[in-house]
Amino acid sequence: MKQRWGVLVAVGVLACGAAGTGTAQASAGSGGSGGCRAAGEVFATNNTAVITDPDDVRLRTRLTRFDHEVRQIIRANGARPGESTLLDGVFWSGDLKQTTYERSRKFDANKVGADGLHHIADVVRKQYHQESVLTFRCLPRTSPETDAVEIQAPGVSSARLREALLADPEARERLGGGSVTVGGRLILIAPLTDLPLARRLAADLGVDWNTAKVSYGDEEFVS
């Protein structure tokens, strides 16, 4: 994972609550599971290289073997693996002063708590030599542990995400970047304090906020 995976992608234990307040209205449940499909999500990759060319052949991998291996890790550590989603990540490197790219996967996990999810992420981090792995616990908006949001919205490409980050210095520095699914769905995780900034970036990407799904929760970079 890069510095601040503002994700437009992420990883977590989910127990979603209400999503959307005043200036941040978007589609979500009013309690219960909300926009969360599983007890947990993990965003991870086996890539250790810095890729700066969007046409790099390594970005075409489907991470099939990695998918099977991480599912086994989830199962071996007491959780139940759910769906796995292939992602195209676009990130801003402050050191290189340019965008970098990464193929990764989002793994859903069930029957897992906060400590178990942290442990799974740490096992993945060590096994695949990653600096960190992002986790996100989906919680009620009013929970004292809530410090982040996960925004999902259709109709976004990795190329458009790159353009939006290049055009918005504040967003790329504070959010770090994000990811989209192969089918063009944005997944953005941002600190709660940066929700207005994340919403602005989404607007720059052409997202209709009424079609977005927002979940509140707790993010963690396991390192």
Task: List, for residues 41-85, the tens digit of each pLDDT value.
Answer: 899 999 999 999 999 999 999 999 999 999 999 999 999 999 999
Position with higher pLDDT, 206 vs 17: 206
Question: Is 135 domain-assigned?
Answer: yes
Model confidence pLDDT, tens digit, residues 143-197: 898 899 999 999 999 999 999 999 999 999 999 999 999 999 999 999 999 999 9
Give residue 89's pLDDT: 96
Contact 35, 216 (CB under 8 A): no
Three-point CA angle 33, 37, 38, nearest 5° = 95
Question: Is 50 domain-assigned?
Answer: yes
Residue 4 pairs with which residues in a beta bridge? none
Per-residue burial over 200-210, b = 16 or more CB atoms within 10 Å of its CB, e = otherwise: ebbebbebebe
How many domains, the chain?
A: 1
DSSP one-letter string for 109-136: EES--HHHHHHHHHHHHHHTT-S-EEEE
Residue 13 has pLDDT above 90, yes or no: no
Quickly state the pLDDT bin for 113 (edges 50, 70, 90). Answer: confident
Question: Is 2 domain-assigned?
Answer: no
Amino acid at 75: R
Contact 107, 69 (CB under 8 A): no
Question: Is 4 domain-assigned?
Answer: no
26: domain range? 12-222
Quickly state the pLDDT bin for 27 (edges 50, 70, 90). Answer: low
103 token code pair: 């193929």
Question: Is 7 domain-assigned?
Answer: no
3-state SS assignment for residue 140:
coil
Question: Is 3 domain-assigned?
Answer: no
Residue 30 has pLDDT above 70, yes or no: no
Give Cα 115 to chain centroid, integer Å.
19
Question: Is 161 domain-assigned?
Answer: yes
Question: Is 1 domain-assigned?
Answer: no
Amino acid at 64: T
